């Protein structure tokens, strides 16, 4: 059997940034009609390599060949012209425009002679051909997350892409939507497309990929490994260089007193529309309540109301006996309530400040950090040195700006700041989003340690594997409401997936 030709090939790619060698003589190729998974820890160089292939960066050294012809990309438009398109984890769509209008944004189309009806017909035909049916006249904001992803795929197909780079494509999908996406990808492969699949979900990699290439520290450490017959444990070992435990040992402990209560809690989102609708829940000491749901169903607003970042419009929330409202002294309860926010860069840290400074953001008014009206710099450094060592934060010095850290190490800084004082209540919003298996393992172990010592934990996650691994109880949110709640032990993943899509528990 003859081997399929390469859709593209990257040879000897080198890319440097100030102080960082992101790609070190990387060779990577994808054949016509295959799914090739690209794996690696955070900071391994995957995104840099794919941004080079997609025309967003230019390599310092090396070459790219498309269909055995050497090419040079100066922009994403150059890459698209050669049939290569990238679908980013965060969708690049304009919410106020229709599906058809998003298809032609950025293209060299005559503005006043645009035949929108013809474009809509093309979108319909493409949708039927690839099983990506979506209403071309619908506004993006009217579509579900799964439908928006279909639009992103259609947009690349509309522009003639034969190679699709997919960065964490299942991060915000329900289990049913993942199954549908994989059926679509297999149809695309049969029709001669090629897919580069970047994911931290190793079960999915084993399920969908034909071959796997692994990067570590900017270099290829495993090339063209057949996915069939390879286990996720083997892939994890290739990524991090050691055994990774996917299941956290969960002690059987009796939950204690009620730490957090909400009663018919309501709040608006940033657009002034209802985001929380009569949310009532309780969490006890020594238990993890996980909130499952597709992104955008009120989870972020719930975390913000409980941590003082957003006002409730009605209802109530109590931390032990303290009401969590506009009159709460948040500085006073800050050492007992920890928050790991969804956005680690914009909300969880101050990127321009050093690691040492980020680690005292909740303590700078208290001794030994506070020294009268000034800051005790020796205590700040001592505190940072201890936490960097204790939480295994990889950094040259504690004076390194937070913006220079990888996603996993920045998350460890936030965890160190929030959990080092042993809080009674921990609100963890997407604590492992976008992190590699090694970082996920250490964060899961840390959350379980705090649960076992008696902390109450509200875990908000879109990763059902994570929820089933950590949670004692599971509540599902849809359109701002709790549509079902159950013990994690014996819970049905299919039923939870349906509830995430809006099917009530009793149905």
48: left (phi over 0), alpha (psi -120 to 50) or beta: alpha
Of the chain, the end-to-end C-alpha distance in Å amounts to 51
Which of 90-94, 182-186, 419-423, 464-468 has the lowest average pLDDT?
Answer: 90-94
Look at residue 23 in the predicted model and tell me its pLDDT.
93
Which pLDDT tens digit goes with each residue over 175-223? 777 888 898 899 999 989 999 999 888 888 999 999 999 998 899 999 9
Question: Do 11 and 63 touch, CB atoms closer than 8 A?
Answer: yes
The per-residue pLDDT for 437 is 79
DSSP codes of every residue in 93-117? --TTSBHHHHHHTTS---GGG--HH
Residue 507's pLDDT is what? 42
Mean pLDDT of 246-269: 89
pLDDT attached to residue 275: 93
pLDDT in tens, 41-75: 877 888 889 999 999 999 999 999 998 999 999 99
Q: With CA atoms as reference, report the closest residue to 204 among 470, 471, 464.
A: 464
The rounded distance, in Å, linking the Cα atoms of 180 and 371 is: 59
CA of residue 218 relative to chain centroid, distance: 21
**Please, where are the H alpha helices in 131-166?**
145-158
215-237 mean pLDDT: 89
Mean pLDDT rounded to a whole number for the chain = 88
Say how far apart CA 283 and CA 48 lie, in whole Å: 42
Edge-to-edge order in the sheet of strand 20-31:
20-31, 6-17, 61-66, 69-71
Confidence grade of residue 480 (pLDDT, cut at 50, 70, 90): very high
The predicted-structure confidence for 118-139, as pLDDT tens digits, reads as follows 899 999 998 888 888 889 999 9
pLDDT confidence bin for 17, thresholds 50/70/90: confident
Convert 30-98 into a string of H (helix), E (strand) and C (coil): EECCCEEEEEECCCCCHHHHHHHHCCCCCCCEEEEEECCEEECCCCHHHHHHCCEEEECCCCCCCCCCE
The tokens for 48 are 């840099």
pTM of the model: 0.72
What domains, with CATH codes, occur in the chain? 6-240 (3.40.50.300), 246-336+423-507 (3.40.50.300), 351-416 (no CATH)
- Nearby residues of 60 by Cβ (< 8 Å), 6 or more positions away: 14, 15, 16
* Per-residue pLDDT, 504: 65
The gap from C-alpha 36 to its chain's centroid, in whole angstroms, comes to 20
Band (pLDDT 50/70/90 cuts) for residue 463 is: confident
Q: pLDDT tens across 301-330, in order?
A: 999 999 988 999 999 999 998 999 877 777
Task: Render pLDDT for 79-114 as a digit per residue (tens, 0 to 9).
Answer: 999 999 998 877 788 989 999 999 988 777 665 567
Quote the CA–CA distance of 146 and 180 in Å, as a whole number: 9
187, 493, 430, 138: CA torsion to nearest 10: 50
């Amino acid at each position: 059997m003859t081997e399929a030709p390469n859709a593209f090939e990257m040879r000897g790619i080198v890319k440097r940034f100030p102080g960082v060698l992101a790609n070190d003589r990387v060779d990577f190729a994808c054949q016509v009609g295959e799914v090739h998974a690209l794996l690696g820890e955070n900071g391994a160089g995957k995104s840099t390599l794919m941004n080079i292939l997609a025309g967003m960066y230019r390599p310092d050294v090396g070459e790219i060949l498309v269909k055995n012809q050497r090419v040079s990309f100066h922009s994403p438009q150059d890459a698209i012209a050669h049939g290569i398109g990238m679908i980013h984890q965060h969708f690049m769509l304009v919410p106020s425009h229709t599906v058809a209008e998003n298809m032609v944004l950025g293209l060299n189309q005559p503005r006043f002679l645009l035949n929108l009806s013809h474009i809509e017909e093309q979108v319909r035909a493409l949708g039927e051909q690839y099983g990506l049916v979506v209403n071309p006249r619908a506004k993006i904001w009217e579509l579900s997350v799964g439908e928006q992803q279909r639009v992103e795929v259609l947009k690349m197909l509309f522009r003639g892409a034969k190679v699709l780079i997919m960065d964490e494509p299942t991060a915000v999908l329900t289990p049913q939507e993942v199954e549908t996406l994989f059926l679509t990808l297999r149809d695309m492969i049969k029709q001669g497309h090629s897919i580069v699949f970047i994911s931290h979900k190793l079960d999915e990699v084993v399920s969908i990929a034909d071959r796997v290439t692994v990067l570590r520290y900017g270099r290829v450490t495993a090339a063209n490994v057949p996915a069939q017959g390879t286990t996720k444990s083997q892939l994890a070992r290739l990524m991090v260089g050691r055994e990774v435990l996917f299941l956290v040992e969960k002690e059987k402990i009796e939950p204690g007193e009620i730490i957090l209560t909400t009663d018919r809690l309501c709040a608006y989102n940033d657009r002034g529309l209802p985001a929380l609708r009569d949310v009532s829940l309780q969490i006890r000491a020594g238990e993890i309540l996980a909130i499952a749901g597709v992104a955008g169903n009120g989870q972020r607003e719930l975390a913000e109301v409980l941590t003082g970042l957003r006002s409730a419009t009605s209802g109530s929330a109590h931390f032990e006996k303290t009401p969590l409202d506009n009159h709460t002294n948040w500085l006073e309860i800050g050492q007992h309530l920890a928050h790991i926010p969804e956005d680690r860069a914009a909300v969880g840290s101050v990127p321009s400040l050093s690691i040492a400074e980020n680690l005292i953001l909740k303590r700078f008014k208290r001794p030994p950090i506070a020294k009268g009206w000034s800051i005790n710099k020796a205590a700040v450094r001592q505190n940072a040195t201890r936490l960097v060592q204790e939480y295994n934060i990889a950094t040259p010095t504690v004076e390194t700006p937070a913006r220079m850290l990888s996603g996993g190490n920045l998350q460890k800084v936030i965890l160190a700041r929030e959990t080092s004082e042993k809080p009674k209540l921990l609100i963890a919003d997407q604590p492992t989003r976008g992190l590699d298996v090694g970082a996920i393992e250490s964060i899961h172990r840390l959350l379980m340690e705090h649960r076992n010592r008696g902390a109450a934990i509200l875990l908000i996650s879109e990763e059902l594997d994570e929820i089933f691994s950590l949670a004692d109880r599971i509540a599902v949110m849809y359109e701002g409401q709790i549509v079902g709640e159950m013990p994690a032990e014996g819970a049905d993943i299919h039923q939870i997936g349906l509830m995430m899509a809006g099917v009530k528990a009793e149905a």
